[in-house]
């Protein structure tokens, strides 16, 4: 997934939020109350190919670790984008 300008990993994704992990021990968005944009690629929801899901969110909690930062994010809005072509998906 993409978080603003960083690549991130997710776990515990639901319709209302996600837990996002960023490499490194700091990031400008790693503060409670920060508003951010998330982008997911959903591989198997459409038989015509992957779909982009763009979300707006708010950071509810920040977990600082030695080599990464974890963010508990509440999703405040979302929208589905176009089906991704095979060429675009491999970039």
Contact 50, 41 (CB under 8 A): yes
Query: Would you give per-residue pLDDT tens digits along the chain (91 residues)?
Result: 777 777 788 888 898 999 999 888 777 878 999 999 988 888 888 787 888 899 999 999 999 988 889 999 999 999 987 666 655 555 4
Q: Which residues contact 28 (CB under 8 A, 6 or more apart)?
A: 34
Query: pTM of the prediction?
Result: 0.79
Residues facing 72 on adjacent strands: 19, 61
Three-state secondary-structure class, residue 32: coil
């Amino acid at each position: 997934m993409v978080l603003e300008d960083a690549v991130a990993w997710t776990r515990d994704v639901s319709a209302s939020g996600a837990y996002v992990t960023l490499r490194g021990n700091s990031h400008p968005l790693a503060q409670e109350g920060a508003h951010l944009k998330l982008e997911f690629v959903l591989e198997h929801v459409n038989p015509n190919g992957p779909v982009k899901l763009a979300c707006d969110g708010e950071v509810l909690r920040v977990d600082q670790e030695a080599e990464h930062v974890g963010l508990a994010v509440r999703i405040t809005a979302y929208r589905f984008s176009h089906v991704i072509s095979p060429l675009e998906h491999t970039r």
